[in-house]
Every structure is written in structure tokens, then in C-alpha cells.
Structure 1
Amino acid sequence: MQAMILPLSQLFAPMLGVFAAMYLLAPTFAVARPWARIAVFIAVWLVVARYLEWRVFTTVLPASGSWYQVGWIWFCLFVELLTFTDQFILYLTFLRRTDRRSEADQHERRLRGLLQDELPSVDVFIPTYDEPLDVLEKTITGALCLDYPNFQVWVLDDGRRPWLKELCERKGAGYLTRSDNLNAKAGNINHALTMTHGDFFAIFDADFVPQRNFLMRTMGFFADPKIAIVQSPHAFYNEDPMQANLGLHRRLPDEQRFFFDCIMPARDGWDGAFCCGSNSVTRRAALRTVGDCLPTQSITEDILLTLVLLRKGYVTRYLCEPLAIGLAPESLGAFFVQRQRWARGAIQTLYLAAGPLGPGLSLMHRLLFFPTHWLSLGLRALMVVVVPIVFMWTGLAPVVEVTPESVFYYLFPAILALNGGISWFAPHAHFPLAAQVSATIQSFKILPTVLGTLVKPKGHAFRVTPKGAAARRTTYAADIFWLSAALMALTVVGLVLNTIPEWRIIDHPAALPMVAFWSVVNIVVLFFVCMTSLQARMGRSEERFEVDEPVVIHTDAGELLSGRISNISLSGAGVLLDSGLECPRNGEPLRVHIMQVGWIEATSVQQRDHFVGLQFRLPQSLERDLLIRKLFTVGRLKETSAVAWSVNTTMLKSIWSMAAPLPRIETSGAASSSAERLPAENLVIRPQPRIGDLAHLAGVRNLHPTGFTRTWP
């Protein structure tokens, strides 16, 4: 009540002070400075402590009334305290951070100076169950192109598919299967461990394509004997459900960037990073100390493996560098299958001796691995939506003794401090509105999973995240859409009812402006939740990437057209022809020369001005594998996680002509015109071999950039 009589300058002083400190002063300090991180941590939690003192002693302890009124007030406080606990752990984590890219540079230089037989052997595992060919072929081809002299690729097929075995034989990859699917992915890998003998093993999920330098960037860290696992981030070449369904495309980072770009480097500073199931390398010698197998007591065997090894004195090292690109969940359905599995596995660790509550861990490691996030995220997001609805429809208040002035004086400064601190620790990765939309969506599905697992931790089947066509079958998430729409309707109608004096349910008129503001924010969030639940139309079967490079097209009439590729995928490309050239007619068969790939059969399917849309006719062939290699294994990722391009000149000796400069079209006088197109017979191109049964791309790893066989290094 004291805030009600404060003058305006004093009333807004805390908000203005926090805003100046967190949004104007703090950004002038580099987050890499330890003293700056400590200063921001202290400043934020002093403001939060001030708020919590008011929250407990003013808005909760004086509560009186019926048991359900007091119980509701205390329950709301419990959820809030759980959220603050989770935030406090996050801020503690941010007090340290690492950037090991320069260390990886040093290790790579050292490895490349060694002889081939001095480098340890690596088994590359690709566990798979039901992923389709269009997903698996990229991963297998990319793995075979790894720039490392001593590795073997193994496809671990729990689906026991003959066509996959044949594909592996053609490409030169090993193929392993077993008689049952016991313990799902962990059991699949454990079976492979009994059949292989590499010093290390790398794991790539069936939809993750390693970059060629993956092993060269990660293997050097194992010079430290305490390193058991090296983990790299999950980066994606497609849009996640929120990006796609809201039409945000790459303007918003994908949903996992905050974790992999900000949280994991901070966890690494505490030696608390963990294996994430894919894009990792593990030391077999370390695994032998814990039974030479992955733990199977939890469906998230990766986190549990980290904890088991941590108790043996081994560390998981994190290199924040995108060394493999994969598929983000392609629909909300696939997203929830993935997140429910993660949440259930994290909760299961609470019941295990090897989990965060078991013996042998430091306090900080217990905090880092305690799965508070999965519970607090769903509860907080749901309560934010439900509390004003309950208040407007029943009059059941979540607090007592609250005025608009006290909200400005205590609550808003705390909100500004918490969000400002996270924005400082994680610049360009924290978006409060998007985070609230994501948390609200997850609360509808993840919270029941968490609560159910707390009651019944065992007996839950491992569900594989759908990929490809299987992930895109649903048109929209009906349950989320209609539940969000119902909550939005209850919010709107409740707000309208309480603006009419005769129908008003809220007994405190001073509270109405606060509830109205809160409700409007919730309406915006719920609207975006509804939009996100509507599956965006997938226009193409393959993801297209922007690229700018020269191209030559050989028409059916024997003419040559020159231009530049603007976008390309495994299924087609967009080409901007040079000025003065006529577009080929619709449906005309063409041959297109792609740098580092060679000639590809294509068809013209779209013409607009000088722009031509091409559809490739690219069956399983050497050219298809080379295009996969070009698109997925030698690229670099932009800050927004989209695939960018860097030209790689390493080619097979037998097809060196495809790495040579594009045929040059000479013209005289002014710019090229349609009358100056040269016939094909004037063009001299070395013959390109046709290999009917795909060449073993494992041979790519033994090539020098000149195209001649090399000796290591």
C-alpha cells in the first residue's frame, strides 16, 4: 500500500534504474569478462530478491479466507518460486563459458601433421529404424566423405531392410543389424560396439549429415585423457515448426539455438556439458570403465552416459561449432514425439543411482543435471494463461494486497532485470515473445508427460522422431489449436464481462487494468500458438539453398546457355540466365553442368523473364552422391543456421574434369545475345565416366585438392 502514495518520480525510479543498468550500461561490458558476468548476476538477483520479499510478505502471508482461496494463492507462489529456482540455476550456469574453436584449430593443425597410422581409428555409427531413403542417403554419403584417414562407417539398421543393406554395399558402408530391438537406440549402438573395434566411435542420427572436417575438428581434444566425449551442436538446414508455420523463415533463430549456442558453452565451463545423442565422438577406453556399453535404464541414454562417465572422472567437452547439419522436426507432431522422449528420459534419471540425486557428484553438477526445466517450463507457461481466466470468471485472486502502483514498483523491475540479464548473457538468442509462445505450446503436451513420468517412471516405449514424409502427414495439431482457441475465447469473454459493471465478477476495480494488460498479452501469445499449430504447406520435397555460382545449360537443340544458379537442391535449381539469352521452353529436356558434380539431366519447368526453374532427373548415381557431398558436407552455416556455401575443389581423380573451370563461352563485341550462343560441337569438355554401380565415396577421403592420390598428410 505504501507505493500508492509515492510520487511518480519515485514510483518509476526502480524500473528506470533497472532499464538503464541492464539495457544501456551492461551492453557496454563484454560478456567474456568474468567480473562483468558476476556483476550482472548480482544486480539481477538483488532486484529479484527485492521483488520476492514483497511477494511473500505482502501478497501471500496476509492471505485469509477459505482453504481453496489460500491454497490457490500458495500454489501460485509455488509455481513462481519453481520458475525462479530454474532461472537461478541458469544464471549460475552463465557465470562461466567457453569458446574452444581456437583450441580446435590447434588440434587440427597437430592432427594434420601426423602420419596416417598415428591417428586413432574411429567407427562412425548411423543408428536407424524407419527413416526413408531420402533422409538416410544424405547421412551415409556425408559420413563416407569425412576427411580423416582411419575410419569406417557403419549403418545400424533396427528396421532390417534389405534395400538399405544393398545401398550400404553399393556405397561402401558397413551394415549391421540384430535379431531384436531391445533397448531401442542404446541397444542398437551397444550391439554395434560388440561387432566393431575402433579406438573411438562417432554417432550421427539418421538425419544428421557430418561436415567433412568433423573428425579433424573433434578428435584432437582427446589428447586430454580426462575427455571421454566431444559433442558438437545440432544445427539444421530446414525450418522448425515455429519458423515454418509462422512464416518467420530465418528471421528467427531455430528453437534450439539458445541451448546449443548459449547454454551448452556455459555448461562446458563447469565441465557439465552432456552428450546429445548425435554429432558426438566417444572414447572406447572410457566406455570400458563403465561396462563398455551405453546405459539403458533411461530412454535418454546420452545424458545418463555423461553422468556415468562423470562419476568416473571423465568429462564431456563441448565444441560450439556446427560440424553436422540435420533435419529439425518437420511438424508439431514430430516435435512433440522428440520433446516428450527428452522430458521423460530426463525425469527418469531422478529415480536412478546414476542420476543427479545419486552419490559421487558435486553440488553444481547436481544442479546442472537436475531436470527442473521440464517441470517449471510447462507449469509457468500454463499458469500465466490460466490465472487471469480463473480470476475473471471466479474472482479467485492469485495474490492479496496488490495495487497497480506496487506492480510498477516491484514486479516490472524484476521482469526487466531477468529478461535483460538473459539478453546480455545470450545476445541475439533470447526473444521473450517467441519463448513464451514456444513454452505455451509445449505446456499442453510436455507437462502431462512430465507429471505422468514422475508418477510412473518406467515402462515407457522409445518413440523415434518421424522424419521425411511420415513427419508431414498431419495438416494441423487439432488438440492444441482448439485448446488454445478455447483459452483465448475465455480470456476475451472474461475481459468483456468484467468491463460491464452489472456483470463484473472481479471485486477489485483497481485490479482490472492489470488483468486487462495481462489478458491482452495472453491473447497475443495464444493467437500465435494457434497459428503455429497449423502446419505450413511443404512446397518442395527437398530443401533448397541459396547459392551464387556459374552454370552452363545444354539444350535439346544443341545450344549452350550460360547463367548463374540462385538456388539449388537435390531435386532442382533456379537459374538466372545471362542477359539476351532466351529461356528454354517448358518441358524441354536439358543437361546442366554443376560445378563439382558434372552434367545432370534436367527438365525446364518454369520460365519468368531470364529466370528458369529446373527439375533434375537424378536417380541413384555418382552424380547424385557428388551433389549431396556438395550441398551438405562442405558448406558452412550462417548465423541463422541456414546453409551457406563455400566451393570445395577436392574431386575424384577419375572425374577431375568436373572440378575444372566451367566451359568458357567466348563472345565478340557487346554483351552476349541469343544469336551468339555457341553450338555444343564448339565446346571441348573432357569425357566424364559413368559408373553404373555407385563409386565408393569413401575414396574421397584419400584425395588431394589437386585430384591426385596423396599420402597423409
Structure 2
Amino acid sequence: MRILNPFPEANSPRRISPWVWGFLVVSMVCLFLALVLANLQFELVALRPLNPLETRKLPEPWAIPNDWKHTVQPSMVALGILLGMSMAPRRPWAYLLGSILLSGFSLRYFIWRSTTLNTAHPLSLTFSLALFLIEIISLLSISLQFYPSLFFDPKPRIRQADKYCQAGIEHPPSVDIFIPTYNESVKMVRRTVLACRSINYPNKKIYILDDGRRDEMADLASEVGVNYLRRPDNLNRKAGNLNHALGCTQGELIAVFDCDFIPFRNFLNRTIGFFSDSRVALVQTPQHYFNPDFHMRNLGLNLLMPSDLDSFFHYNQVIRDHFNAVICCGTSYVARREALVSAGGYFSKCIVEDYQTGTRLMIKGWRIIYLDEILSLGEVPRTFRDYIDQRLRWLQGNVQIYFCWRDLPIWTRLGIWQKSFYVSQAIYCFMPLFRTGYIVLPLLSFALGFSLIVAPPSEYLFYGLPFTIILHGILSWQSKNHYSQIWTEIYESLFCVPALGRLARMIRNPMGHIGSLVTNKDTVQNRQSMDLGLAWPLLVYLPIFTVTMFMRYGLPLIDPSWMRSSFEGEEVMLAWNVYNAIVIFVCVLACIDRPVRRKHDRFPLETVACLRIGSQVAWGVTRDLSESGLSMALIDSMIAADGKDAVVELPQSKLTLPSKILGQRNHKGYSVLRLGFLPPSTEQEEALIHLLYNENVWFHKLKRVGIIDSFLIMIGSAWRAEPLVRRF
């Protein structure tokens, strides 16, 4: 099955044979099940002081049937509903129906949950109530989107952009393209600058905003014919850099690209038309990435799974657009200079400027548009630490906005639905706390021998499982499979402990500047590694879980005096802890960073190629391509010695590149050559960047997975244990 083994032909050496690893995993699972079955008592008896002394009884209307067929009926109904919803048209009435169904199952579940609190002891009541409140707050965050979700439809904005493109612009407004940089490499900035030069728009000027004050950046600007700005200090970080550029330029519109983003040639043509409406201040487009997230790369899922930001950019932002609540994301957007000036420029009091500047524009009465169309490609952090540093900075900026009530009077100047999004965002900022509760509380209850949910498994099957099925399924369907509850839990589990640390430090100084100011992208490391400073909470959890399970189910087989009476709800807590352990194990695997040896990403681009070595000519097909070279399989025979100069022609792209042969090998009867590019001209380099980073290649397309695929991919990741089994 491809989900369990997405790269069956991977040729990197293995530390452990897959058969040996599979036997080890199966043996451990069988041992665990044997211990559980040998010790788990299914009688509903609770003699421990932390648990009720009597078996609780549900009120008559809520009593569950005695036979298993009726017990699983609600789950079957839930699955039938999801099957029916998957065939329903994506219309507001269908979204409303989905929200009503989710509300009904949620109400049914929480009425039942209110009867499952453990009131036998103050300690058990505290933890049981804490978990119940966490569940309620989590559902409240979701319910705030029930009404906005009715307006999820990205197509009207796309049709609007089509209309503007077809009509054309008689007098194109002047556009200044800002590329802010601080300490990023010349190579990275050069790529962005050349992509901006390729944008099909007549009235544009490009500016490198260099807060690093580096001569090599000035030389780059001079070489490729763009403007260069620097300032004497780094006051107010990126916001100060952008505000300085605003005072030095005069374009009617401002396009901003972080220096790790590559705009497509049609970026301005697709966005400028919206400014024909004088109320529009800013047009935001989604962030999409040409390299996989660190966790997908480490787990070997880069061709299967979308980015962890996928649901935000392709669902949340779309529904926000209807209510003028779009979040400005700091890159890949166009803004009206007049609007920015009226708002006092870019907001500079927080560690980030984008969310706050967009909020101020809305407070001033301006309109922000969201066009859900991928018009640029960016680069995501390649290691666990770089990812955490970036997300911690975003978290801090998102929290700081609520401490700027004088400058950003959200609660008095915005509409009710705009405020609801800020409430939802505030709850999301504290999701690390809730995720920690979902992980720690079940383990703690099992270690101490009390239940957080005082209910037998039959009740959970009748009330809890149908709610879980509907929750996962409806949210996935409403977002067109851009949202996966399972993988959201994995992302939150990776992030929760570092985020709690940052939130704790912010209590003392909410507006302070903590952590890094920019995200490291120029990562090169030759060995597989794990950042123990960040991964240790995950590593500690697994031994604690193992010891707890052994003490509960292993020791009684060795010494019966360790036998502890079962408690009502033990089976539910056991299942929850096992699920958490699988999630944490996947997180640990995701934290093991693969080596980053190449300076340029290699893409599986197959296109016809012609190779010329002196008077010899041979045709073939490229197997992969990067900014620095390619490999190609030759159809014709050719004598090609290593080190020889050659010329590669890609006729479909009308691109010719001087090259040098680096090596050759035979593969399935074909001669495969590795070629490195010699320094190309600026025009050739510009065309190569367009070939690699454009909207038409399959490997840059959006990826979406359903709930069943999400679950299988998670299990497959744990089963294969790619970072442990394979040597990189």
C-alpha cells in the first residue's frame, strides 16, 4: 500500500531490515495486548478512593441498549452521514446542514460527558473537570466558524480576477516591489529578485531593502538592474525597514515579497484589478511552498501530505474574506500606498508587523481582499529548531495584538463577526495549553489509577465515537480536505511545550522581543540529527507511558501483589493513552532531521533535452532538475567523459544552459548523466527559475488528503519509522 510505503524504490541504505523492524513492531504490539488482556478486568467495579465507589447509572432517557448491535448504531449513522455529505454539492445549504449535524452530535456528546465527571475525590474532580473544560473551549473555537463556514467558496474571487485580467488595465498604476532582507544569503535574494524581474507588468520598480547593510547586496542590485535601499539602523525590524522604503519611493501600489518567496509572472496581473475599488487597501494571496515541511520531509511524506498551513490559507482565509477579516501575512501581497499612509505606515510596536498592520487598516475602514490562488512559492524551514523559532515568533506576534488595545481598538471599532475571528484567534493562541492537557491528563490519570471519564467503553461507543467521527469528517469535508484533525493534533503536539515556554515568558513582558528576529533558511547539515533541547518532552513521554503500562499490566504477572482493581472508564483511558503514544511517537520521528546536503532543491521535472558535446548530439529526458544542475537519461548513445564541457538545450522551455559533465551511470539500460551548470547569463538564470518555480508543474500543486488517508498515513509513519530504520 503506497500510504504505508510511499517510496518502495528508495535506495538509501537501511540500518534495520524492514522485515526485522516489522517483526519487532508486531512482537511489541502482541506483548502489549497480551499484558492488557491478562490483567484488564471488565467488571464495572471501582474500589480506589480516587474513583466512585458505586457504578454510575445514566438517567433513563440516556441509558444505552444492552446489545452491541444497538450500541454501534450511532457510529454507523455517523459514517452514513459522512458518506452522504461527501456526495452533496458544495453549497451554503450543504455547509449549513453539516454545521447543524455537527452541532447536534456535539450537544448529544457533551450532555453525556457532563454525567461522566469523576467526583469521588477533589484531585480526580479537578483533573476530570479540567479535561471537560478543555473540550468545551476547543469546541467553542470550532463553533465560532459554523456561520462563517457557510460562505466558504474561493471561486467568486478567482472569477473576479479572471474578469479583471480579460478587461485589461488601460492605465496600469505604478507598483513598487519591496524585497526586505536582513541576513539571508545573496543566492536566496538573487532568486527572488530575478523572479520579480520576470513579472509581466510594465509599470514596476524593484527595490532590495537591505537591513544588513551589505555591499554584496548593493552589488547584486547593480548587476541585475534593480534599486537598492539601506538605512542607518535596524529600528523596529521589518516594519521599520518597510516604513523607511515607503518614505523613499512613490509607487501607487506596494507589492511585498519576503526574500525566500518567488512570485509567478502573472502575480500583478491577477491582483492589480481589485484596486479598481477605491475601498480596497490590500490584496493577500496564499503562501505555498516548493519544499516540504520539516516533519513531512523527515517522515518521508513530502509527496503525500500538504503543508501544516494548508487549512489556514485555503479555508480559514477564504471564509474570513466574506467578513473583511483577512489576516495580512507579511508576504505575497499588494497594498495601496494611500491606505498604508492613512494607517500610519506599518505597525511597529510588535515583534511582527503584518497581522497588526492589516488590523489597523480594517479599523480605519479599509477593505482587505483574499485571492485564494497560488501566485508565488516560498521556502519553509528545513529543521525542527528553525520551524519552532518561526512559529514561536508568529505566536508571540499574534498574542501581542491583544495588548495593543489603545493603538488597535479591536473591540470597539470592528464588526461583530470580525471580533469573532479575533476571539477564535485568541483561543487558538492558547491551544498549546489545551494540547498539553490532552496529552498529560490521560497519562496522569492512568499512572495514579483514576478515570477522567467515568464511563464504560459501551457508553463511549454510543456517545463519544459518533461525535469523534462527525467532528473529523465534517471539518474535513467543509474545508475540501484542507483540514485534518489527526495531523493538526500531531502539529500541535510538536509545538505545545516550546509554545508554553514562550507564553510563560510573555506573562512577565508581553511586548518584549524574545527569540530570533528572522527565520533561518540557509541550512546545511551533513548528518541526521535531533535537537534534544526541543525534543526532550516528547522523548520523556514515551518512557513514562511504557513504565506506566508495564506497572499496570506487566508487574501483576510477575508479582500478583501489584494487581490493582480496575476502575470504571479504564478502557477509555487506555485507548486514549495508546492513541496519544502513537501521536507522540510520530512526533519523535518527525524531530529527527534528515541531512540537508544540497544547496539547491532538486525537482522531479521530466522534459525533453538535447545534449551537445562538441560535434556530438544526443537526445534524452531529464530525470530531475535544480538551479545548479540536472540529470538526464540519454536515448541516443554518446561518448561523454567526466569533466567535459557541454551544452544542454530544453526545447520545450526554449532554454539553453552551458554545463559540465559530473558523472554517468547505467540505469535500466539507459545512460544517465549528471551535469552541473556553468555560470549562466542573467537571462538564462531568470528563465531557469521560471521553469522550476511556476504554477504548471505537478510537484508544486496543492495536496489534499481525507480523514481515512490521514489516519492511514499516521499509522504508516509509525509503522515504517523511516528516520530510525533508514540511514541518510
Q: Name the CA distance, whole Å, in 1 between partners of 2:214 and 2:481.
A: 44
Q: CA deviation at 1:530?
A: 0.8
Alignment of 1:365-404 (within 5 A): 365-370=418-423, 371-399=425-453, 401-404=454-457
Change (3 A) 1:372 1:469: same
Q: Name the CA distance, whole Å, in 1 between partners of 2:414 and 2:561.
A: 58
SS of 2:605's partner is strand
Equivalent AA in structure 2 for residue 568 of structure 1: L
Alignment of 1:306-385 (within 5 A): 306-353=358-405, 354-355=407-408, 357-370=410-423, 371-385=425-439
Alignment of 1:477-492 (within 5 A): 477-492=531-546
Corresponding position of 2:317: 264
Equivalent AA in structure 2 for residue 19 of structure 1: L
Corresponding position of 1:75: 130
Alignment of 1:454-493 (within 5 A): 454-461=507-514, 463-469=517-523, 475-493=529-547
Change (3 A) 1:300 1:636: farther
Equivalent AA in structure 1 for residue 374 of structure 2: P
Q: 2:89 aligns with which of 30, 51, 70?
A: 30
- Which has the larger displacement, 511-520 or 228-237? 511-520
Change (3 A) 1:357 1:10: farther
1:302 matched to 2:358 = no
Corresponding position of 1:681: none
Q: Name the CA distance, whole Å, in 2 between partners of 1:583 and 1:389.
A: 65
Q: CA deviation at 1:543?
A: 1.2
Corresponding position of 1:561: 618
Alignment of 1:697-712 (within 5 A): none
Alignment of 1:617-696 (within 5 A): 617-619=677-679, 621-622=681-682, 624-632=684-692, 634-636=694-696, 638=698, 641=701
Deviations 1:321-340 (A, max 9, x none): 11111101111111111111
Equivalent AA in structure 2 for residue 304 of structure 1: Q
Contact 2:179 2:258 in 1 (8 A): yes
Equivalent AA in structure 2 for residue 388 of structure 1: P
Equivalent AA in structure 1 for residue 649 of structure 2: H
Alignment of 1:252-291 (within 5 A): 252-291=305-344
Q: Name the CA distance, whole Å, in 1 between partners of 2:362 and 2:505.
A: 28
Q: Name the CA distance, whole Å, in 2 between partners of 1:505 and 1:298.
A: 56
Deviations 1:101-136 (A, max 9, x none): 111111112225x2xxx1100100000001112211
Q: Name the CA distance, whole Å, in 2 between partners of 1:198 and 1:518.
A: 57
Corresponding position of 1:499: 553
Change (3 A) 1:70 1:515: closer
Contact 2:528 2:595 in 1 (8 A): no
Equivalent AA in structure 2 for residue 594 of structure 1: L
Gap runs ≥5 in structure 1:
644-713
Gap runs ≥5 in structure 2:
1-56, 704-728
Alignment of 1:136-151 (within 5 A): 136-151=189-204
Change (3 A) 1:603 1:170: same
Q: Name the CA distance, whole Å, in 1 between partners of 2:255 and 2:80.
A: 47
Q: CA deviation at 1:55?
A: 1.7
Corresponding position of 1:552: 610
SS of 1:613's partner is strand
Corresponding position of 2:661: 603
Corresponding position of 1:10: 70
Contact 2:446 2:574 in 1 (8 A): no
SS of 2:607's partner is strand
Corresponding position of 2:637: 581
- Using the size of structure 2 for normalisation, the TM-score is 0.82
Corresponding position of 2:277: 224
Deviations 1:436-458 (A, max 9, x none): 21110011212322343245311
Q: Name the CA distance, whole Å, in 2 between partners of 1:584 and 1:472.
A: 30
Contact 2:286 2:373 in 1 (8 A): yes
Over the residues paired in the alignment, what is the CA RMSD in angstroms? 2.3
Q: Name the CA distance, whole Å, in 1 between partners of 2:700 and 2:666.
A: 29
Q: Name the CA distance, whole Å, in 2 between partners of 1:564 and 1:279.
A: 34
Contact 1:98 1:269 in 2 (8 A): no
Change (3 A) 1:372 1:97: same
1:523 matched to 2:564 = no
Alignment of 1:37-76 (within 5 A): 37-56=95-114, 58-60=115-117, 63-66=119-122, 68-76=123-131
SS of 1:216's partner is helix
Alignment of 1:413-428 (within 5 A): 413-428=466-481
Change (3 A) 1:194 1:175: same
Q: CA deviation at 1:72?
A: 2.0
Equivalent AA in structure 2 for residue 144 of structure 1: R
Change (3 A) 1:504 1:79: farther
Contact 1:211 1:323 in 2 (8 A): yes
Q: Name the CA distance, whole Å, in 2 between partners of 1:220 and 1:403.
A: 60
SS of 1:286's partner is helix
Corresponding position of 2:290: 237
SS of 2:99's partner is helix
Deviations 1:238-288 (A, max 9, x none): 111111100112111122112111221121122211211000000111122
Q: CA deviation at 1:637?
A: 5.5
Equivalent AA in structure 2 for residue 484 of structure 1: L
Q: Name the CA distance, whole Å, in 1 between partners of 2:563 and 2:440.
A: 16
Q: Would you say how many aligned residue pairs link Structure 1 and Structure 2? A: 630
Corresponding position of 2:152: 97
Deviations 1:293-344 (A, max 9, x none): 1111222311111111112221211111111111011111111111111110
Contact 1:583 1:612 in 2 (8 A): no
- Which has the larger displacement, 464-473 or 564-573? 464-473
Q: CA deviation at 1:98?
A: 3.3
Change (3 A) 1:300 1:93: farther
Contact 1:542 1:569 in 2 (8 A): yes
Q: 2:264 aligns with which of 207, 211, 219?
A: 211
Contact 2:528 2:592 in 1 (8 A): no
Q: CA deviation at 1:587?
A: 3.5
Change (3 A) 1:563 1:153: same
SS of 1:468's partner is coil
Equivalent AA in structure 2 for residue 622 of structure 1: T
Contact 1:618 1:624 in 2 (8 A): no
Q: 1:613 aligns with which of 673, 676, 682?
A: 673
Higher relative contact order (CA closer than 8 Å, sequence separation 6+):
2
Equivalent AA in structure 1 for residue 659 of structure 2: E
Identity %, equivalent residues:
26
SS of 1:206's partner is coil
Q: CA deviation at 1:166?
A: 0.5
SS of 2:592's partner is coil
Contact 2:179 2:209 in 1 (8 A): yes
Contact 2:363 2:410 in 1 (8 A): no
Corresponding position of 1:452: 505
Change (3 A) 1:361 1:97: same
Change (3 A) 1:497 1:330: same
